[in-house]
Structure 1
Amino acid sequence: MSSPIDLEKADEELEEIGGVIGFLNRYRTLIIAVLTVAVFCLAAYAIYDLTNEVRYDDVVHALTTTKISSVLLALLFTGLSFTSLVFYDQNALEYIGKRLPFPHVALTSFSAYAVGNTAGFGALSAGAIRYRAYTRMGLSPDDITRVIAFVTLSFGLGLAAVGAIALLVIADEIGPLIDIDGLWLRLIAVAILVALAFVVFAGRNGREVRLGSIAVRLPDSRTWSRQFLVTAFDIAASASVLYVLLPPTAIGWPGFFAIYAIAVALGVLSHVPAGFGVFETIIIAWLGSSVNEDAVLSSLVLYRVIYNVIPLVIAIAAISVAELRRFVDHPAASSMRRVGGRLMPQLLSAFALLLGMMLIFSSVTPTPDQNLIVLSDYLPLPIIESAHFFSSLLGLTIVVAARGLGQRLDGAWWVSIFSAAFALLLSLLKAIAIVEAGLLAFFIFSLVVSRRLFLRPASLLSQTLTAGWLTAMAVICIGAVVVLFFVYRDVGYSNQLWWQFEFADEAPRGLRAALGISILSSTIAIFSLLRPATKRLEPVTGELVARAVQVVQKQGIADANLVRMGDKNIMFSEKGDAFIMYSKQGRSWIALFDPVGPRQALPDLIWRFVEAARAAGCRSVFYQISPALLSYCADAGLRAFKLGELAVVNLSNFELKGGKWANLRQTASRAVRDGLEFAVIQPQDVPDVIDQLAEVSDTWLADHNAKEKSFSLGAFDPDYVSSQPVGVLKKDGKIVAFANILMTETREEGSVDLMRFLPDAPKGSMDFLFVQILEYLKGQGFHRFNLGMAPLSGMSRRESAPVWDRVGGTVFEHGERFYNFKGLRAFKSKFHPEWQPRYLAVSGGVSPMIALMDATFLIGGGLKGVVRK
């Protein structure tokens, strides 16, 4: 039996563990960023050390002597690899039971992998490409999440299977390279294959596997087999790209295939953008003993260009051509524009990141001697020195602007196009760099033809760079320094280098460029990290509320009448014909429902709200939004999570006839026998009974030990209650229950907000009240009735559902102790409504739990209000 001292000690240990876990969760993003930079530094040092005998001129010579046939073969295998990648998405869509036009899927998949392979898992995400494109094609956030999960999981499992099979074949060849006995490698490979075989067997014929209360339907054997073949073909083709670029080696293709698979896997796990440095380190470490290291380095550079850069350029070129053909009435071009308009900003963002890296790295590498001789005959030294230095700074500027391009900011577009134009000029002045100038010209061309996509007014100075982008900047700057040391490793350092200005002195120019980008990047990072303090929002005025009410009356959203409470801030569109109502909680600006107003006013209004929240140092959150708003939120960089389901009754079909309405029919009959009478009190007459309504409200609050809510619910305020009709139930002439009816002049939708009754009201009074309100609204010509949302209802807990959905479904199923989730849905289900999904959209990188907690505190009036009900 444990002593009290032992139990107390155990509690203390649990508290310490909880504190550590809490710390790790709180600073997870920062910790990952720091570890990513640390891993890259280790990889960079390893490359520098492994290539100790390699000289820059040797690498350039190896690069220029690469056979044209090898390059053409690499291009062929790149095409085969990207063709196979399209079937990742196609298989994922078939797995979730969705069908989309193949050309649209192919363009989306190709663009997603072009961005993902270039920028990696950190700064830019292939998932963002899919989310933007598939949202426009009609897929829900749940479906898109499942597609992304299928693609990611299938690649990971396929990579593990392919690597394990290859390891079985060449374990004796790989073992000596990493000082591990081949038998152990084979045992590891067998263990991996057994585990994968168990997963395939468990999911045969699409069987469900239960993990506690969560049921997951695994892909059937046919899906597993087909996806394995796709993954194996993809990895084989991409490995062949690098293999044909390498000179003849002692390692055969099967052995290289295993090495390549391991290098790719470790590059992904490192979280370094595109696995840059980590992938190269593993390849050099394993091939350095069998191939000249200068040849390996030159092959890796070509591999990055062919497999990473060229597909990105092709994707941008294809969409640019479609943009040019917008003046031509051609169905194919029109279709590509619809999808391409969603993808182009992300593609240009990734391309800008590449161009910025190119300009920075070229500033720390020497100019070819023949080009330098030509320049010295025509240009004075100060111009060449200045062009070299400012070109590197322009490269960093384009890297920073890349994030704004992904967000479709007009400021980022202007900065990018001017920076690229100046960089193009400087590339000719500093080194007659034709290829560099050509890529910059192509970038400018792509920006010009896609100008219509970058119309969001925003200042780059107000942008706060995320941890991912700061990490990418750090990796680029550190990489530039490593390249500088590699190129000039034979140059002895001295303080005099900083002040040497000669045509032939390349090292000082590179040193000054590296210092310039280091200072500028540090300044940008510090400026970004010192976020502006949150500001207090100005209280809403009666004039603003009156303007908002005028907009509400012209729309068909009954719940928008909550703006009448005057407890929320209001942001109007530029024309004043639409608005967002929102409040601030913690560091969250939380918008309630969809913006109210014409559809064409929504995109700019949503973006203005996101920008205003970011400028105030806060996160933007949209609470209880409809599927129609998801594509606009995706464009603004928000992620959506299912929040629950809204119950909507079609009033044209509503009548208490038939078997399914028997219970409500009996309830209504019993209420009439109990002497209940229904009446609708018009707004002008509500003040006459406001005292009776207040008595019912106060009694209801006291009986339920509750306090008034806010934000998404109204409170009993005489002005608010008197602004709309009120449905009441009377017994013996006394009001025993009431509900205020929300409606607009369009008569499209009706709803209720406050629903309160006396403790001694007859049983079933609220059911009767709702039935009478529904019949009243139907008689008035209303089309539908909004019964409100059932939180966490309809959350999927199976078929590779997102973690958010599975947790929400579990809470809905077992959380009755804290909230009447199932009871609320059961009440609404009495009226046989149509269930429509509602979502929570949050800024990228923000945990939905934080946003939901802020919304809960806002509705409940803080922590005390939530605890008290």
Structure 2
Amino acid sequence: MISPSASEPEVDEEQRNEAGWRPFLRRNQRSLSAVGTLLMIAIFGAAVFHLTAEVHYDDVVSALAETRWISIVAAVLFTALSFLALTFYDVAALDYVKRKLPYADIALTAACAYAVGNTAGFGPLSGGAIRYRSYSRLGLEPEEIARVVAFVTLAFGLGLAAVTCVSVLIVGEYVAPLTGLEPFWLRMIAIIVLGVLLTAFILARDGREIRVGRITLRLPDSRTASRQFLVTALDLAASATVLYVLLPSGTIGWPAFLAVYSLAIGIGVLSHVPAGLGVFETVIVATLGRAADVDTILGALVLYRLIYHVLPLLIAIVVIIGMEVRQLAGHAAASSMRRIGGRIAPLLLATLALVLAIMLVLSSVTPTPSENLAFLSSYVSLPLVEGAHFLASLLGLVLVIVARGLALRLDGAWWASIVIAVAALLLSLLKAVALMEAGMLAFFIVGLLVSRRLFVRPASLFGQALTLPWLTAIGVICLGAFVVLLFVYRDIEYSHELWWQFEFSAEAPRGLRAFLGVTVGASAIAIWSLMRPATTAVEPASEEALERAIAIVENQDMSDANLVRMGDKSVMFSSDGRAFIMYGRRARSWIALFDPVGPVETWPDLIWQFIETARANGCRAVFYQVSPLGLAYYADAGLRAFRLGELAEVDLTRFELKGGKWANLRQQVSRGQRDGLEFTVVEPEAVAGILPELAAVSDAWLAHHSAREKGFSLGAFDPDYLAEQPVAILKCAGRIVAFANILTTVTKEEGSIDLMRFSPDAPKGSMDFLFVQLMEFLKTQGYRRFNLGMAPLSGISFRRVAPVWDRAGRAFFEHGERFYNFKGLRAFKSKFHPRWQPRYLVASGGLNPILALMDATFLIGGGLRGVIRK
């Protein structure tokens, strides 16, 4: 055996971790998070099952029936007060990012965001998705929306910790017996947490940054923090009172209950379980189980979930439906709110579909009231009841999949939802005369019918692979159904004969068969989703397609759209043929270059057509270098925007080399004239005659920079491509020393260049001279602006609280000169005093934007070798 050399350096534990488990955790973060969520559900489900060992299902039903109406009305009123307080989180967040919006728009957005977030509580259906869709429509940029979401999340977390600790200090002796800790130690923990929060509050009183280990935070100033603490206190006090008034009187004092409630909310948030389902209930039962009957606590918790979580969702949908009514839509005061409503209505209906799916599954594993069974036995045969019970549970499972389609505004999802809801409504009456269940389904059907115009995207509903969050949601529903099944029938001893018992009174066998159907169906869906379709090759556009695309390019305003003339990209046309997307494929990324080219009204359908086609081929859809104009459309498709840099535009109508700020450029122009530089624009028909000279300049430029031709978002030296548009040239002593091909359109709204190459022996300052002369030429031709191109990573937020993408991009911009001259490029373009416009990469979340950017880089550079060789 060979032993290591004594001189070999030792690898410390941290390096081994970095090479071992840390990269593994980073690569599999989402999968591990999903497994962790299911594990948490299982653990807390077992805890609830143990804590309710002496409780019977009938006792919980009786406790629900005995709840006083005055308590329910009070709970509804406090729910309204809590949601009113919640709207001020967004008010403060928008004030923090220095944006002003009408309170009505903020209140509608915030209320819907919390209604969805509280009920669904996982990524695709969350408050963040609601805010992105709404605030992007109201003019906020993605960075601002990300800061709003981060502010709201941090404000709630800090406020929750502070309120809980203050409550414990006041009523520690009442809470201690419920938690198993001594009052002294409980208060000491609260004091330590409050001390940390107070220290942070003092250090950041003027909005300064504080550092905790490797993390740097810029906390709000004292005024903002104090206001947020009061908002959080009001929110928690109101929401806690919702549950408190539903509990039997005398169970616990309100101050002590506030501490217990805050603790339960906090643990539910930390667990990352959707809506804290099961986790919140476990904490409440564990702490209050000694002070009141567990059956009454469970009954209060069921009502709390219905009143505080489901009722606001229903009200939000009613409000959105009201905005769809023609009489209200024409009212001036409701115009902006209706515009927002059109953006968020699909998410609200998708969340309701998820709630109904849970309802259908859980109702299949709970017994039917005996009086309802007696009524059914007189009019309906047993096979119909058995079949209705089993099919309703499967419809609930299918409705989870359809909910995803509703969130994406698919027309197929709308039709499927209508069919499922109508069938489930009929089955709910056949299986148990479940009037409340039928009423909820009828409400859902009405909401779908009124919102029909919002679901216009044609797509294959079942041809798509479900994402991990949706598969996790299905797993949570199945685990929840299993826990409920065990709880309801815990007194019935299991035997194989149960599966074959078919009687009106045989509720347990009926529930077992329904659960088996749900489990088998969920497993089949998961396996189908994990078996991704194979990717297909993407071919460049045909000659006929290029001619159609060029005809569209010539009659619109974006000069960069002329890059389609290279012929190296594929083209996808809109259904009416008035717009197109040019794109390429690298690995599993379909990368669209720029926004769609053509009328804006064609963009939404074309964007969705591209996304669905990419997904149908097993790939991710990516949009590269898109403008703020289309962000709302990408958000509607469930994509997120990540800032790439800034585009420099010069207003040619005001361009002139007068004034002190233009002194340096005037000097460069004068120097170029002294050096004998001559500027000329060669029309397309004459370009062929100078191609040999242009090729010599291009080859010399490539050799001097040790570079190779690029592609996709940049043109290459191709004779056919150069001969299609004018070329600007610089001559010195009768010899061409520099050139640039000019990109123009018939509208003369914008001009730009693509290739710009010069000989190594060209006089110094030739680039400045060429740009100035070209802009003056385009100005005389009637062009209104000049596109200088994008400065990568420019304009990315430098704030410490900025998203990780922004912080990484800023670090590259500041320290990445070894790989690319980021600062130098921006400094060069800044000479012309342009107006900077943000540009984005748009993709789905998780690792997709990073992978998409890598694929786009390789696509532009011609593979890994091309990127390394510049």
SS at match of 1:595: strand
Which secondary structure does the structure 1 equivalent of 2:681 belong to?
strand
Bigger drift between 85-94 and 532-541 goes to: 532-541
| Cα separation, 2, equivalents of 1:798 and 1:329 | 42
* 1:105-116 mapped onto 2 (5 Å cutoff): 105-116=106-117
Deviations 1:175-220 (A, max 9, x none): 3444333322222211211111122112213334579999864311
Which residue is 1:694 aligned to?
695
Cα shift at 1:249: 4.3
CA–CA separation in structure 2 for the residues paired with 1:171 and 1:122: 36
* SS of 1:389 mapped into structure 2: helix
Residue 191 (structure 2) aligns with? 190
Q: Provide the residue aligned with 1:165 in structure 2.
A: 166
Task: Report the counterpart of residue 576 of structure 2 in structure 1.
Answer: 575
Larger mean Cα displacement after TM superposition, 552-561 or 842-851: 842-851
**Structure 2: runs of 5+ lacking an equivalent:** none
User: Does the Cα contact within 8 Å between 1:131 and 1:141 map onto a contact in 2?
Assistant: yes
Instruction: State the alpha-carbon separation in 2 of the partners of residues 799 and 92 from structure 1.
Output: 17
Deviation at 1:853, TM superposition (A): 1.4
Name whichever of 326-335 and 787-796 sits farther off.
326-335
Query: Which whole-Å CA distance do the structure 2 matches of 1:153 and 1:532 have between them?
Result: 40
Q: Does 1:665 align with 2:669?
A: no
Cross-structure match for 2:798: 797
Higher mean displacement: 58-67 or 168-177: 168-177
Q: Deviations over 1:328-349 (max 9, x none)?
A: 6322443332111011000001
Equivalent position SS for 1:580: strand
The alpha-carbon distance between structure 1 residues 287 and 211, as it changes in their structure 2 partners (threshold 3 A), is closer
Query: What is the SS of the residue equivalent to 1:205?
Result: coil
Partners of 1:164 and 1:13 in 2: CA distance: 36
Give the match for residue 341 of structure 2.
340
Matched residue, 2:325: 324
1:51 alignment counterpart? 52
Q: Distance in 2 between matches of 1:284 and 1:568?
A: 61
Task: Report the Cα distance in structure 2 between the residues aligned to 1:297 and 1:431, rounded to whole angstroms.
Answer: 23
Whole-Å Cα distance in 2 between the matches of residues 63 and 140 of structure 1? 47
- Tell me the residue number matched to 1:265: 266
Asked if 1:141 is matched to 2:180, the reply is: no
Q: Is the 8 A contact 2:132 2:142 kept in 1?
A: yes
Counterparts of 1:210 and 1:290 in 2: how far apart (Å)? 43
Structure 1 pair 15–866 and aligned structure 2 pair: CA distance change class (3 A):
farther
Identify the residue that residue 37 of structure 2 maps to in structure 1. 36
Please give the root-mean-square deviation of Cα atoms over the aligned residues, in Å: 1.7
| Cα offset, 1:122, TM superposition | 4.3
Whether contact under 8 Å (1:325, 1:333) holds in the other structure is: no
Structure 2 contact 176–182 (Cα < 8 Å) conserved = yes
2:750 counterpart of 1:749: yes
SS of 2:700's partner is helix
Paired AA for residue 435 in structure 1: M
Kindly state the Cα deviation for residue 16 of structure 1 after the two structures are TM-superposed. 4.8
Gapped regions of structure 1 (runs ≥ 5) = none
Displacement after TM superposition at 1:326 (Å): 5.3
Give the aligned residue type for 2:806. Answer: D
Structure 2 counterpart SS, 1:647: strand
Deviation at residue 462 of structure 1 after TM alignment:
1.5
Partner of 2:182: 181
Matched, 1:310 2:311: yes
- 1:783 maps onto 2:804 in alignment: no
Q: Kindly provide the amino acid, as one letter, of the partner of residue 444 in structure 1.
A: I
Q: CA 1:210–1:259 in structure 2 vs 1: closer, same or farther (change >3 Å)?
A: closer
**Corresponding residue of 2:156:** 155
- Structure 1 Cα separation of the partners of residues 349 and 26 of structure 2: 33
Q: Which residue of 1 aligns with 2:354?
A: 353
Q: Which residue type is aligned with residue 130 of structure 1?
A: R
Which AA in structure 2 matches 1:662? A
Q: Name the structure 2 match of 1:725.
A: 726
Give percent identity, aligned residues only.
62
Aligned residue in 2 for 1:621: 622
CA deviation string 1:694-751 (max 9, x = no partner): 1110111011001111111111111111111110111111111111111111111110
Q: Is the 8 A contact 1:122 1:271 kept in 2?
A: no
Name the CA distance, whole Å, in 2 between partners of 1:336 and 1:675. 62
TM-superposed deviation, 1:541? 1.6
Q: CA deviation at 1:9?
A: 2.5
796-805 or 161-170: bigger deviation: 796-805
Q: Provide closer, same or farther for how the CA distance between residues 490 and 211 of structure 1 changes in structure 2, counting only shifts above 3 A.
A: closer
Q: Distance in 1 between matches of 2:13 and 2:568?
A: 44
**Counterparts of 1:687 and 1:314, CA distance in 2:** 68
| Alignment deviations for residues 377-422 of structure 1 (CA, whole Å, 9 cap, x no partner) | 1111111111111111111111111111000001111111110001
Tell me the residue number matched to 1:96: 97
For 1:128, give the aligned amino acid: A
Conserved in 1, the CA contact under 8 Å of 2:545 and 2:571? yes
User: SS in structure 2 opposite 1:206?
Assistant: coil
Counterparts in 2 of 1:552 and 1:194: CA distance versus 1, 3 Å: same
Partner of 1:483: 484
* SS of alignment partner, residue 100 of structure 1: coil
1:538: Cα distance to partner?
Answer: 2.4
Cα distance change on mapping 1:752 and 1:211 into 2, 3 Å = farther
By how many angstroms is 1:810 displaced? 2.4
User: Which SS does the other structure have where 1:740 is aligned?
Assistant: strand
Give SS of 1:10's match.
coil
Are the aligned partners of 1:677 and 1:730 in contact in 2 as well (CA < 8 Å)? yes
CA offset at residue 157 of structure 1?
Answer: 0.5
Q: Structure 1 residue 455: deviation in Å? A: 0.5
Measured in 2, the distance between the counterparts of 1:741 and 1:4 equals 64
Structure 1 contact 647–788 (Cα < 8 Å) conserved? yes
How many residues are aligned here? 867
Is 413-422 or 851-860 further displaced after alignment?
851-860
Instruction: Check conservation: 2:200, 2:210, Cα contact below 8 A.
Output: no
Q: 1:270, 1:753 → 2: CA distance?
A: 52
Q: Structure 2: how far apart are the matches of 1:855 and 1:669?
A: 40
What do residues 64-118 of structure 1 show as CA deviations (whole Å, max 9, x unaligned)? 0011111111111101100100000011111111111111111110000000000
SS at match of 2:597: coil
Matches within 5 A, 1:830-841: 830-841=831-842
Residues 637 and 844 in structure 1, CA contact (< 8 A), matched pair in contact too: no
In the other structure, the counterpart of 1:826 is: 827
Answer yes or no: is the 8 Å Cα contact 1:122–1:472 preserved in 2: no
Q: Tell me how far apart the structure 2 counterparts of residues 397 and 764 of structure 1 sit (CA, whole Å).
A: 66
1:213/1:810 contact within 8 Å kept: no
- Structure 1 window deviating more from structure 2 (331-340 vs 30-39): it is 331-340
CA distance in 2, matches of 1:211, 1:69: 49
| Counterpart amino acid of residue 94 in structure 2 | L
Query: Structure 1 residue 510 and structure 2 residue 511: aligned?
Result: yes
Q: Which amino acid aligns with 1:689?
A: I
Per-residue CA deviation, residues 402-459 of structure 1 (Å, 9 max, x unaligned), is: 1110000011111111100011111111111111111100000000000000000012
Contact kept? 1:682, 1:724, Cα under 8 Å: yes
State how far apart, in whole Å, the 1-side matches of 2:134 and 2:348 are. 12
The residue that corresponds to 1:428 in the other structure is: 429
- Residue type matched to 2:639 in 1? L
Alpha-carbon displacement from aligned partner over 1:276-311 (angstroms, at most 9, x marks no partner): 011111111111111111111111100000000000
SS of the equivalent of 2:20 reads helix
Query: Which position in structure 1 is the counterpart of 2:80?
Result: 79
* Residues 122/658 of structure 1: CA separation in 2 closer, same or farther (3 Å cut): closer
Task: Report the equivalent of 2:292.
Answer: 291
The aligned residue for residue 717 of structure 2 is 716
* Alignment check: 8 A CA contact 2:328 2:334 kept: no
* Mapped partners of 1:326, 1:451: distance in 2: 17
Deviation of 1:847 (Å): 3.9
Given the superposition, is the C-alpha separation of residues 264 and 6 from structure 1 closer, same or farther in structure 2, using an over 3 Å criterion? farther
Q: Secondary structure at the match of 2:462?
A: helix
- Normalised by the length of structure 2, the TM-score is 0.97
Q: Name the CA shift for 1:87/1:4 in 2 (closer, same or farther; >3 Å).
A: farther
Paired with 1:96 and 1:307, the residues of 2 have a C-alpha distance of: 30
**Residues 7/296 of structure 1: CA separation in 2 closer, same or farther (3 Å cut):** farther
Cα deviation, residue 258, structure 1: 1.2
Q: How does 1:427-576 map to 2 (within 5 A)?
A: 427-576=428-577
Letter in 1 for 2:28: Y
Contact 1:585 1:857 in 2 (8 A): yes
Mapped to 2, the partners of 1:718 and 1:491 lie a distance apart of: 83
The residue identity in structure 1 corresponding to 2:637 is A
How far, CA to CA, are the matches of 2:791 and 2:620 in structure 1?
25
C-alpha separation between the residues in 1 aligned to 2:351 and 2:168?
Answer: 34
In 1: Cα distance, 2:826 partner to 2:490 partner: 71
